[in-house]
């Protein structure tokens, strides 16, 4: 009645002012203050929303009467959450009482939008007494964040994201699809030189605990690793081990699905902190012939995904962002430009089988901080495989046999993947497994020797043929 009276008697501005005034008076007399924590904050997902959801899932399981229970696809655990528009009282430090309400309201029908938004608007409403305002904003929210991180770390279900959908977004505006990440590889199962392994682990720990270091040195809190080596030497296993060691999520970036630099940037913006961003086989994801065109035009270091076809590369060479290509500079910006700092605590890992094919710009120091060579199986790495696959320690294998393995392993140039295949095949009969492995190593070593000697012969023959020709050329040069 008052509203309709106001509408007829007073003009809109007066009405607005008076409502504002009434609202202010109500606020003045209210003992509470309210905070909205919305799911989507402008363009980005609000990390605080996710943290509160996780935090409340632990207290909701104990105190809530009505809960929403979810179990993600392939997930191993059930998650508790506040039902839509339900509330829960939480106590902090024994004295500060706050009320959390999960507010879900349907979004008004969109007439037109560049990007489809979720059908519901979700958020948490936090109500606290005005006298507790300082404590809530100061230490309570920090406590919530810390607790959420702890729960996340404990929860083994980390996520593996992929951009296999191309540039399309889901209803929540995410370009990434995720599945629970359950790769069992750890640094214990990884067969490589123990000293190198320890070095990498120490580097990762320094990174994860180095927030203040990065702050004081003015560097973005990120680190790049380049893993290179032949197929089957454990590059992908190393990435999984890194994620398991630090408890980070993995974003597996499929470069062939990204068409423009701005798409690449958007993908980066939608990655969360504490994550590993991986580009596997980087030399195969990019068209090197196109990349070499940069010599013709320095401003367009363009290359297109091999699958994009010639039209894509040709059509876009002239325009960095507008066309259908990603450019080298776009990729470099992705790793260490200004945009690379739009989140914190992130690791970039590139893998390749052919380091010599990579552009020097990608390899320069500061870009990829650590180059890790994953090589053929060495003797210390072999011992790790024997332990993991057969449960053998040094003393369990005959000394002579161990020596024979040591003699032949370097020459055999077998990858850990090859060796593990031999061991898996015979794992029921451990003794047989070791002997068969020795046999396989010897065969490989002999074959390698034969290949090497024939290559040497060919080289010598070639030189012998070239020498008279070269001598003739020299003579001709002298006479001319």
Q: Which residues of the shown chain bind ligand ATP in the complex (CB under 6 A)? A: 189-192, 231-237, 353, 374, 416-417, 420
Run of H or E including 292: helix 288-292
Helix ranges, 96-210 (H): 133-135, 141-154, 194-208
**Complex with ligand ATP: residue 234 or 313, whichever CB lies closer:** 234
Question: 3-class SS at 377?
Answer: coil
Neighbours of 156 (CB within 10 A): 12
Q: Quote the CA–CA distance of 404 and 412 in Å, as a whole number.
A: 12
Taking the least distance from each CB to ligand ATP, the nearer of 178 and 186 is 186
| Residue 233 binds Mg ion (CB under 5 A) | no
How many other β-carbons are positioned within 10 Å of the β-carbon of residue 421? 13
284 binds, among Mg ion, ligand ATP, none (CB under 5 to 8 A by kind): none
Least CB distance to ligand ATP at residue 391 (A): 15
At closest approach, how far in Å is the CB of 419 from ligand ATP?
8
The CB-nearest residue to Mg ion is 236
Shortest approach of ligand ATP to residue 280 CB, angstroms?
A: 7
* Nearer of residues 278 and 434 to Mg ion, judged by Cβ: 278
Question: Encoding tokens for residue 381?
Answer: 């790495």
Nearer of residues 24 and 357 to ligand ATP, judged by Cβ? 357
In whole angstroms, what is the distance from residue 307 CA to residue 258 CA? 11
CB of 369 to ligand ATP, least distance (A): 20
Residues contacting Mg ion: total by CB under 5 A: 2
The least distance separating ligand ATP from the CB of residue 227, rounded to whole angstroms, comes to 8
C-alpha to C-alpha distance for 347 and 333, rounded to whole angstroms:
15
Closer to Mg ion by Cβ: residue 281 or 396: 281
Q: Which does 416 bind (CB under 5 to 8 A by kind): ligand ATP, Mg ion, none?
A: ligand ATP
Stretch that binds Mg ion, among 41-49, 102-110, 112-120, 229-237 (CB under 5 A): 229-237
For ligand ATP, the closer of residues 161 and 389 by Cβ is 389
Using the minimum distance from each CB to ligand ATP, give the nearer residue, 46 or 353.
353
* Residue 232, contacted partner among Mg ion, ligand ATP, none, CB below 5-8 A by kind: ligand ATP
Burial class (CB in 10 A: 0-12, 13-18, 19+), 453: exposed
Question: In the structure encoding, which two tokens stand for residue 425, read together?
Answer: 């095949």
Min. distance of Cβ 97 from Mg ion in angstroms? Answer: 52
Q: Which is nearer to ligand ATP, 135 or 238 (CB)?
A: 238
- For the CA atoms of 368, 295, 255, 373, what is the dihedral angle to 10 degrees? -30
Closest residue by Cα to residue 223 from 104, 322, 380, 347: 347
- Please identify which residue in 53, 57, 236, 340 interacts with Mg ion, judged by CB under 5 A: 236
Question: Residue 98 or residue 419: which is nearer to Mg ion going by CB?
Answer: 419
For 181, the enclosing helix (H) or strand (E) is strand 177-181
**Quick one: CA torsion of 409, 414, 418, 420, rounded to 10 degrees?**
30
Number of other CB atoms surrounding residue 3 within 10 Å: 9
At closest approach, how far in Å is the CB of 437 from Mg ion? Answer: 23
Cβ 236 to Mg ion shortest distance, Å: 3
Question: By C-beta, is 158 or 235 nearer to Mg ion?
Answer: 235
Q: What is the largest CA-CA distance in the chain?
A: 114
Give the nearest distance from C-beta 73 to ligand ATP in angstroms. 24
| Backbone angles phi and psi of 163, in degrees to 5 | -105, 35
Instruction: Give the one entry of ligand ATP, Mg ion, none that residue 438 binds, where binding means its C-beta sits below a cut-off of 5 to 8 angstroms depending on kind.
Output: none
Which does residue 420 bind out of Mg ion, ligand ATP, none, counting CB within 5 to 8 angstroms by kind?
ligand ATP
User: How many CB atoms lie under 10 A from the CB of residue 47?
Assistant: 14
61 binds, among Mg ion, ligand ATP, none (CB under 5 to 8 A by kind): none
* Sign of the torsion angle spanned by Cα atoms 261, 263, 266, 272: negative
Nearest to 34 by CA among 123, 96, 126: 126
Closest approach of ligand ATP to the CB of residue 188, in Å: 10
Binding site for Mg ion (CB under 5 A): 235-236
């Amino acid at each position: 009645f008052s509203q309709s009276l106001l509408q007829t008697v007073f003009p809109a501005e007066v009405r607005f002012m008076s409502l504002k005034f009434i609202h202010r008076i109500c606020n003045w007399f209210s003992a509470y203050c309210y905070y909205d924590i919305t799911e989507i904050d402008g363009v980005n997902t609000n990390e605080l929303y996710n943290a509160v959801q996780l935090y409340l899932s632990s207290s909701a399981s104990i105190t809530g009467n009505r809960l929403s229970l979810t179990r993600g696809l392939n997930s191993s655990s059930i998650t508790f959450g506040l039902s839509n528009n339900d509330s829960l009282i939480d106590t902090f430090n024994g004295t500060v009482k706050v009320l959390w309400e999960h507010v879900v309201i349907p979004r008004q029908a969109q007439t037109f939008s560049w990007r489809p938004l979720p059908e519901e608007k979700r958020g948490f409403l936090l109500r606290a007494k005005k006298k507790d305002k300082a404590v809530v904003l100061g230490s309570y929210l920090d406590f919530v964040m810390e607790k959420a991180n702890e729960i996340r770390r404990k929860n083994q279900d980390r996520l593996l994201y992929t951009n296999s959908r191309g540039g399309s977004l889901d209803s929540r505006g995410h370009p990434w699809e995720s599945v629970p990440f359950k790769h069992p590889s750890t640094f214990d199962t990884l067969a490589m030189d123990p000293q190198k392994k320890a070095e990498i682990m120490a580097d990762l720990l320094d990174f994860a605990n180095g927030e203040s270091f990065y702050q004081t040195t003015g560097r973005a809190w990120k680190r790049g690793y380049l893993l290179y080596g032949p197929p089957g030497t454990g590059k992908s296993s190393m990435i999984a081990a890194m994620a398991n060691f630090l408890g980070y999520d993995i974003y597996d970036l499929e470069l062939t699905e990204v068409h423009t630099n701005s798409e690449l940037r958007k993908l980066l913006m939608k990655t969360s902190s504490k994550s590993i961003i991986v580009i596997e086989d980087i030399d195969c994801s990019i068209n090197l012939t196109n990349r070499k065109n940069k010599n013709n035009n320095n401003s367009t270091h363009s290359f297109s995904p091999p699958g994009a076809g010639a039209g894509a590369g040709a059509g876009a060479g002239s325009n960095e962002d507008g066309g259908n290509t990603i450019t080298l500079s776009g990729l470099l910006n992705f790793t260490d430009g200004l945009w690379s700092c739009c989140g914190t605590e992130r690791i970039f890992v590139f893998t390749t089988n052919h380091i010599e094919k990579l552009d020097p710009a990608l390899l320069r120091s500061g870009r990829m901080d650590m180059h890790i060579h994953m090589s053929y199986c060495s003797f210390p790495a072999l011992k790790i495989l024997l332990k993991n696959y057969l449960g053998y320690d040094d003393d369990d294998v005959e000394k002579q046999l161990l020596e024979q393995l040591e003699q032949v392993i370097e020459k055999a140039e077998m990858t850990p993947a090859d060796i593990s295949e031999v061991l898996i095949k015979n794992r029921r009969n451990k003794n047989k497994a070791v002997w068969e492995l020795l046999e396989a190593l010897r065969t490989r070593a002999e074959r390698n020797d034969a290949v090497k000697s024939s290559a040497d012969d060919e080289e010598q023959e070639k030189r012998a043929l070239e020498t008279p020709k070269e001598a003739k050329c020299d003579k001709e040069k002298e006479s001319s």
